[in-house]
Structures are given as structure tokens and as C-alpha cells.
Structure 1
Amino acid sequence: MKKKVIYSTILAGLLLWGCSEDFTEKAATGALSDEALQNALGVDLKLTAAYSAMDGERINRQGEGVAAGGDNWWSDVVSDDAHRGSTDGDNTALFQVETLDWQTGNNWFLGRWSAIFGGVNRCNAVLDLISQIPDGDFTQQAGEALFLRAYYNFELQKFYGNVPFLSVENLVNQEFNQPNPGPIWAQIEADLTEAIGMLGSDVVVGRANSWVAKAYLGKALLYQGKYAAALTQLNDVINNGPYSLNAEFVDNFNFAGENGPESLFAIQFSADTGRSFNGNGAGTLNYPGGGPLGTCCGFYQPTQDLVNAYQTSGGLPLLDTYADTDVASDYGINSADPFTPHAGPLDPRLDYTVSRRGIDYNGFGLNPGKEWIRATFQDISGPYLPKKNVYQADEVDANRGTGGWGSDWSGINYNILRYADVLLMAAEAAVETNDLGTALNYVNQVRNRAKNMTYVQTVDGTGDAANYEIEPYGSFANQTEARKAVRFERRLELGMEGHRLFDLRRWGIAMETINTYIQNEGEDLYLSGYDSKFSTYQAKHDLYPIPVNAIDQSGGVLTQNPGY
């Protein structure tokens, strides 16, 4: 699965069956008849197509293509983790997403909606095909299709809230205009539960197994507040599954560590020599706007608020006061002018997540600051660059692919679900069931990995690049403190991985957190009128709007989310 197989290309290259005097009875050029697909090869082809839809590229879709990918980076820019980046005038539609000016016709909302439903339809096509084959055992393949359908529907659920559920019968009968009366959690749970009973437990790169399905069922239960049931599923994966933390945090984001023990489920990207479309097309905008990489386009920049969260005292995060003081930044300072880096203690995961001036940038040398930032000082993007999505200097040949207009299509896998996430979800469920000892154990496993990993080194390879200080928690005094610590740890561990907005929403604190962040960020960046560019986060923003294009195409069967 590492080399993505483009479904239509495979089909076009296969021998076409059928011979008739009447040319109208022949299969169309580049396609196979239904009968020709009713075998193991046909099932594998359609299942491969269902997997390939995860990146949003190899699928017919509407709306903004960059929004279609499975890493959900553009939802981070709604949260307190990331700015949209680039300049205020570049890509107005995404500027409107970031500043909470949400129009139902915005192509970013349509792009993700369209891509996800394409994935759902491909899963249904697999299940329908299997039902037509009288011989052979396709239990594993059906389990994978059910899992993938649950995954896609989970994405729809967390983005849009009130969504239709499309079944195999809807596909067969072409009844695509289904109503969206509310959440579809029951169908997601049912698919995952059935998939668990059908999937094998062996780890196969790029494929779902029963452990992945159990972890996802735990995640679905957690999102619904079914904490005891979620903990049961997640504990099973932790205690009995084949996964563990990588020794090095950075190995979750490089070629050397791909598909390692921490990776449960990942989009399998690859970067071929020369022009390649097997890489992360949805992330093509998210590279420095200058510097030695010669990349484009300066989008997806971490916030000052996220950087401040990595401050420590006695090795522990400042849970209540992190925003009171700022990590020193070079915002407003040109690269040729002197700058004194922050000297206070920091969690070392900061410099694997965020690139800041004076720290090595993935082996490409010291980040010089403004020279690598596309925006002017008057824009709202800030002084930082992302790191987790960018290849390492010594892995350029393996991980850098190119597309049209010279864009980068990184070959770095995106971990949809990694073991640290499973530990922290289980810790959260343990807190809510008042099992504070289990929560402490799981959080400290994540923190101890950060403590014992190799810290970011200076450019000559000697010594720590900053004043790194991190320790595990000694205890949790009560449930309130434990809840705060677990939620904060998710941000530190999973920052810039597309999770933050959805965490804030399900915790019911998105409105308070994001409105406070907007006010503070402008003050931190010394930007007069910064917050005036933003609308106020309201209750309606806890769900994205149903794209008006989809409502129109449904003939009014779909209904809009409240507030739009």
C-alpha cells in the first residue's frame, strides 16, 4: 500500500472481457464490466480505491482540493494552535475560515464534505461487490470496508454533526439524497463493532486490523461521553495490542520511523523521483515561503499561544498560567537584526513541533526568522513555521515529491491514529470515570518518552538547542486537576496534527478558549486591531455548515445546521 495505486489507471490497463456483434454491449474503454469484477481481484481493486480516498486526491470531488485531505490541517487554523499563514490577501476563502466568517458556499467546507462522501461510496461499492460473489471468503475485506466506512462517517460526524448515513442499498438504488436528521453515532458504532469481529489481528502496513477498529470504537465512544465503555476498548488495545511508543518523538514524522510501533493507522504517502502525485497533495501549501528549501507557500503557521503552552516549571506545564508570559519571539525583527532567544525552561516537544528563530530546522540549518516567513509584519500569521509535516534534510530524496507549479508533495505518512493518542484518550476516559491512577500512568508514559528522547541539538550536533526541562507528574490531587492535565497533554503531544479544534468542541470549551485566544494573540504579536479581523466564536461554530451546494443538489432533502 506504500505505493498508492490509482484505481482508474489499474482498470484501464486490464484486459477487457466480452465480445459481441453489438458494440453497445461491450464494456466502456478503460472500465471493467460488473461481471469481470466479481472475483478476488475485483474486490482488491475496489478496496484499494476505498483506502486511496483517505488523502482526498484520487477521487472525483467538488470544492477546494486542498481541503479534501485527511490530515485536517485547515481545521487547526480555526483553533488556538495555528494561523492560516501566508498573507491576509492570499486565499480569501481560507482567511474567512480562520476569522470565523463562515459562509455556507465556502469551497473549503464543500471540499472536505465531497471527498469524505466519495470515500463512503467506495466502501459501499466494496460491500456490494462482495455480496454478489457466491464463492470465496471475503470476511477480512468486508471488515476493512466496514471499518473504512466508519472512519469516513466519523470524519463527517465530527466536522458537520448532522449528516446522512448512506448504506449499500442507497448506493445500489442510487438513492443518494438521504435526510440528515441528526448524529449517526449508532451507525458508526455498529460498523466498528461488526468490523472488529471480521478483521484479523495481524499488523499489515496500510491496512486496518481488529486492534485499529477497537481503538476507533473507543474514540467514537469517547466523543459521545461514554467513558466507561471507551476505556474498556482502549485498555484492550493498550494492554493486549501490538503497539508501543517510539523511543524518539520525531520518528512519528520522518521516513525512518514510518509504520513503526506507534503507528496504528496512517495515510500511506510516498514521494517518487521527479514529479509525483503519490504524496500529500492537501499539504502542498504548508512549507516555508523562503529559505533553502525553495518551497511555497507559507501556510499553516503555529501560534504564539501554542508556543507559550510548552513553557515548564519544575518540568511540568503551566496549566493555568502559560498565557501570562510569552516565549520570546522575533516577530517584528528582521533577520539581519539581533535577536535574543528565549532562555526559560521549555518542553522539548516544542522544537519538534514548531520552528522558531535560532533553532535547527529539520537539518536544514538554523531558522533565520523573517527571511523564511512569507507574510509582512502587518499580517496575522506570526513568526513561526510548522515542522511535523516537513521532511528532514537527510531524507529529501526519499520524502520530497513535486507536483504542478513546483509544489511539494511530501512523502511523509500522516498518522490518523498513533499510540500516544490512544494512551491520552484512555487517560481522558479514566479521568472521567475517576480512575486517576490509570490516567496518571498513561499521561506519564507520554511525558517520559518526551523526557528520555534525544533532545533537539545545536546545529553542530552538540548540546541542547534550548533550556529543555520536562518531568512526569507525581500525582493528581483530584479529578479537576487530572482533567486539566490530560487535556493539556493532548495539546503538547498532538499539536499541529489536526486534532485541536475537535478536542475543544467535544469538551464544550471551544467558544471560551478561542475567543480568549483571539484577544491574547493580538496582544502577544503587538498587532493593533488584530482581533477586529475576527468574528466572535459562537455556538454555531461548534459545527461546520452543511455546504449549500450539497443542499441544493439534494433538492432540499438536506437541512442546514443551526445558526447558518
Structure 2
Amino acid sequence: MKRTYLNSILFALIMVFSTMSCEDLEERPVGTLSPEGLFVSVKELKAGVNGAYGQLAREDFHGRKLTLALLLRSDMVGIGDPSTPTRRHACDLMQMEQDNGLVNAFWTVGYRALAAANEVINAKDNVDGSEAEINAVAAQAYFLRAYVHFVYVRLFGEIIYMDGQPIDDPYAVQQSSVSDIYEGIIADLDFAKEWLADIPVDRSHPGKAAAYGMQASVYMTRATSEAAQTDDWQNAFDNAKHVIDNEGKYGVALDNNFYDIFAPDFASSEILFNITFIANDNHNITPGELGGSNAGTDQVTSVTGPRGDERFAALNSDAFGWSVAVPELSVYNTWDGRDYRKAVSLDTAITYLGEPDYRFTEWDGISQNVARPHIAKYFRAVGEAGLRTSTPQGASLRDSNSKQIILRYAEVLLIAAEAAVELGNNGAAVEYINRVRARARNAAGAGDSKYPPSPVPADITGAVTVQDVMEERRLELAFEGVRWYDIVRRKMGNVYSGAAPALENRDFDPNVDYLWPKYYVDVDLLEGLKQNVGYEGL
């Protein structure tokens, strides 16, 4: 029996009518489209999945807007250049209003990614091919659908869940409960766990380890939410341990040198899933061909790099950053200098006016810069790789193919450690957190004179606490976009004011600021989508 579906792309378009007024929509574009005619082969199904990947690799999602918002919202990063747009200051200072420009940009792109994933999922039963080859492709769509919903439920709470099912009237659709959203995410990842490859073709495609690791993160996050289930911590532990127990089968391991993880020219075994930017000038595709001057451009390097930097002029005469998102000075001051992760994560010296090793304490003399270390996992990692490989880059190291890491193995180990603490399994918690610390102590290896093995961080002994794991996550995963999620799920608003553990001072309101404003145009258009508390009418 044939089933007809509302074209989920049409639904996504309804979600993004930012240029139309409500009066323009009096004739509502309601219709149906059968997925049977869209895809007839596995090759076409793959093309549909690529459409979903392509949305996540846009400048207005992981190319800058979402990634920048996550960095600024955390307690470890603030604004460096005071002239940067107001929308960024508002995000950083807990002053977001319902029309914040960062949310406006990435919200719509995420729903387009969901639309693309749903077209593939709805069409999979109508495609010629074996069950195994069809489901292996569809599993990627399920994984991406789970990932976008997971991002959005953590940022916005109740949202409109896009499961691709028939909708008679898009304007009558209702937002889903947090509980139902998590159930949908978990079900999607169950499918992905079954059908994804043991070892994917590369880490820009998820494999089984990514699916199990993502589901471990989902259970861990739900365990501290309003939708918590009694077995969440056990499920988080079991999924993480499945990855740990199958390292060889899934081809995953901690990279020996922490520096290598972030180098664009290094094939990491630790990264389980990352967003790869290949639609840029270096690959003979101009952003304009993709829809807009920034459409396919990775600009995370630019917004995190130092102004005035001349180290990478050989790659481009304008290879300096913009000093937008910079670490709080207290991050540098409180991080033990013997921890190799500090040297990899923080950029403290540039070349300026021909002077090498120009220290960050002098950077406030550079226009639009600030006397703070900068984030090194993007700008410096890309620049140094470019010099090693003689790869030209765009101005400000845009078009860089920097690694936008979504999940890596060290985080899976720390998820297992946190779940073990909650389950009272201190032995497992000690084992997993110390594996991460041991790699950090290895530094660049015994043969490296600048960064030899270090006694810091030492193995943890005794009882591991949740606070121990949170601190390890803060340092190990610094500036990778997960700190804000940790603050929310552990309700750590205290990190924004007062004495330790505060790293910065912000006017944080726990009644409002754990959630972000939903896209105001959709809230106005769709009666079933309600604005979060504290943002109504702003």
C-alpha cells in the first residue's frame, strides 16, 4: 500500500519563512509528495544523505554560527574584539533575545538537514537494492536526524520533532515533549547501531562506534533532565563500554599525541565523527555556487585566530584571525602549565610586525585584539598543517578544512567514567579517567625535546567524584563545543559568578538562561511552538 507524505522539505521551508510576513501566508502551501519518485537506487539514496551532511557543513551551522554560539555561551570563552556584532555579545553575556542572529541562522539550517534526512528515511523501502546496502545508507540519515534533534533538545527544550510522518496541516503541528524527543533520538540511534559499518570509510561518516558513543551521550544527558529514566546511567555506561570493549573491531583508539587529533593532515583513530568542510575555494567550488558568499566556508578558524598574526603569511598574505572568541584569562591562569593539553589548546605567541614569539600579554596593542591567549585547536592547527603540507588557505585561514569534531573516543571514556561514578563503580571510573590522563602525560612522546612526557595530570586515586569528571571534561574537551552542554545538564550556573569554580562573571539567570530562545518567526507562525520562558515578547 502506498503512503503519501507531506514533503518534509516543504515543512522545512515553512519553518524558515523569515522573509515573509504572516499576511503573505494566507494561502497556505499545504500539499503532499510521495517519496517513491525521488529515489530509485542506492546511489540516489546516498545523494540524499549527502544533502543532510551538506547542511551541517554550512557556515551558518558548524561553519561558524552554531559552533561560535556554543563557544561563547560556555564559561571558558568570551569576546575579544569589542566591535564584533551585537548578536555575539548577547550570546556571551546571557542577554539573548528572541531574534538573536546566531539562532536565526542555524535553527533553519538544522531543520533543512532534518528534512533531507527524512526524505531518505521515507524512501528507503522503495529503493532497489539489498536490505544491507539500503539500510547502511539509511542508517546515516537516522544518525544525522538523531544528532540534530539532540543538539536542539539540549539548546531549546521542547521543539517540533521531525520524524517524517504524514502531516495534514503543518500549521497545526505541536512541539513535542522533551521525553518524546529523547525517545525518538534513542530509537534512531538503535537503527544506526544495527546498520552502520563497523569501520566507516572516513570519520566524516558515522560508524557503529559513533552511534554507540552518541547514544551513551544521549542517555547521560537524559539522566539529568526532566525526562530522566531509572536505567539511563546504566544504559550510558553500557553503550560507552561497548565502544571500549570493541576498540579493535571498530578501529578506534586514543591517538598517542594529543596535538595530532586536531591537525587537518592527520588521520585520527580517536575521532568517531566530525564535520568535514570540502565545499570551498581550495576544492574549486566557490561559496557563491553553493548559495551565498559564506555558504560552504568554514570560518571557525577565523573567529578564533589572533588579529595581527603573521605566522602563516606564506599560506595567504591575510592569514590572520579576528580575535572574536577568546579564552577567559582565568582559563590560562588556572591550567597547570605542565599539562600538555594546555599547550595544544591555547595559542600564546604569534609573529607580529616581523617579531616572532610575540607574547599574548602584549596583544592588546594590536587593533581589535586583546591580551589573552587564543584558541589553538582551529586556527593554529590549520596554519601549522598548511605550512607542513604547503596547502594554500583563504584569507584569515578560511576554507581551511579544520576538524569540527562532534565526538571522539576520549569523550566516550569520560562518559563511561561519569556513568560509573553514578552507578557506584569507582574502579571503572578510575580506570577510564586515568586512560585519558595517561595520554595527556605522554605529551608529544619521549623523543620530543620541547614537550616530553610530564607528571601532570597524575593518575587519579581514591574515590572519583562527578566534579572530577566535569573538570577532566573541561580540560580534555576544551573549546570543542561540549562545555555548554555540561553546564546545562549538571546545572552549573554557578560557574558564571563568585569565587571558584567561576571562570568569568556573567549575569546568569537559572530560570531563563539554561535554554535559548527559539526562532521567533516560527514561534509566531506556528501556534504549537511556544517560546521559552524569559524570551516572550523581547
TM-score when normalising by structure 1: 0.75
* 1:500 maps to amino acid: R
Distance in 2, matches of 1:68 and 1:393, equals: 20
Distance in 2, matches of 1:47 and 1:156, equals: 20
In 2 relative to 1, CA 151–417 (structure 1 residues): closer, same or farther, beyond 3 Å? same
**1:193 equivalenced with 2:176 (yes/no):** no
In 2 relative to 1, CA 432–374 (structure 1 residues): closer, same or farther, beyond 3 Å? farther
Look up the match of 1:353.
Answer: 345
Note the 1:138-537 alignment, pairs <5 A.
Answer: 138-170=134-166, 175=170, 178-183=173-178, 184-205=181-202, 206-225=204-223, 226-241=232-247, 242-258=251-267, 260-270=268-278, 272=282, 277=287, 280-292=298-310, 293=312, 294=318, 295-311=320-336, 345-357=337-349, 366-369=357-360, 372=363, 382-390=371-379, 391-396=382-387, 401-402=393-394, 408-454=398-444, 462-463=449-450, 469-476=455-462, 478=463, 481-509=464-492, 511-516=493-498, 534-537=506-509
In 2 relative to 1, CA 305–557 (structure 1 residues): closer, same or farther, beyond 3 Å? same
Distance in 2, matches of 1:488 and 1:462, equals: 28
Deviates more, 1:175-184 or 1:227-236: 175-184
Look up the match of 2:510.
Answer: 538
Deviation of 1:99 (Å): 1.0
Paired residues of 2:42 and 2:128 also in contact (CA < 8 A): no
Deviation of 1:167 (Å): 1.8
Paired residues of 2:265 and 2:385 also in contact (CA < 8 A): no
Paired residues of 1:540 and 1:563 also in contact (CA < 8 A): yes
In 2 relative to 1, CA 80–442 (structure 1 residues): closer, same or farther, beyond 3 Å? same
Distance in 1, matches of 2:129 and 2:403, equals: 36
Paired residues of 2:64 and 2:299 also in contact (CA < 8 A): yes
1:280-336 residue CA offsets vs partner (Å, 9 max, x unmatched): 24554222111204324111111122223422xxxxxxxxxxxxxxxxxxxxxxxxx
In 2 relative to 1, CA 160–517 (structure 1 residues): closer, same or farther, beyond 3 Å? farther
Distance in 2, matches of 1:399 and 1:49, equals: 27
Deviation of 1:255 (Å): 2.3
In 2 relative to 1, CA 251–276 (structure 1 residues): closer, same or farther, beyond 3 Å? farther
In 2 relative to 1, CA 409–246 (structure 1 residues): closer, same or farther, beyond 3 Å? same
Deviation of 1:394 (Å): 4.7
Deviation of 1:513 (Å): 1.2
Paired residues of 2:494 and 2:501 also in contact (CA < 8 A): no
Distance in 2, matches of 1:44 and 1:86, equals: 42
Look up the match of 1:551.
Answer: 523
Partner residue of 1:560 out of 523, 531, 534: 531
SS in 2 for 1:410: coil
Distance in 1, matches of 2:252 and 2:213, equals: 11
Structure 1: give runs of 5+ residues left out of the alignment: 1-32, 58-64, 312-344, 523-530
Distance in 2, matches of 1:256 and 1:90, equals: 31
Deviation of 1:470 (Å): 0.5
Deviation of 1:194 (Å): 2.1
Distance in 2, matches of 1:475 and 1:410, equals: 41
* 2:260 maps to amino acid: D
Look up the match of 1:53.
Answer: 55
1:103-143 residue CA offsets vs partner (Å, 9 max, x unmatched): 01111122221121111111001112223335543111111
Distance in 1, matches of 2:520 and 2:308, equals: 37
In 2 relative to 1, CA 407–561 (structure 1 residues): closer, same or farther, beyond 3 Å? same
* 2:43 maps to amino acid: L
CA RMSD of aligned residues (A): 3.2
Distance in 1, matches of 2:243 and 2:214, equals: 10
* 1:287 maps to amino acid: G
Distance in 2, matches of 1:145 and 1:273, equals: 25
SS in 2 for 1:265: strand
1:315-368 residue CA offsets vs partner (Å, 9 max, x unmatched): xxxxxxxxxxxxxxxxxxxxxxxxxxxxxx5312111111124x899xx95243
In 2 relative to 1, CA 432–276 (structure 1 residues): closer, same or farther, beyond 3 Å? farther
SS in 2 for 1:542: coil
Distance in 2, matches of 1:419 and 1:353, equals: 18
Aligned residues with identical type, % of pairs? 21
Look up the match of 1:14.
Answer: none
Structure 2: give runs of 5+ residues left out of the alignment: 1-34, 224-231, 288-295, 313-317
SS in 2 for 1:301: strand
Aligned residues: 463
Deviates more, 1:482-491 or 1:390-399: 390-399
Deviation of 1:81 (Å): 0.9
Distance in 2, matches of 1:549 and 1:70, equals: 18
Distance in 2, matches of 1:518 and 1:351, equals: 23
In 2 relative to 1, CA 438–249 (structure 1 residues): closer, same or farther, beyond 3 Å? same
* 2:186 maps to amino acid: E
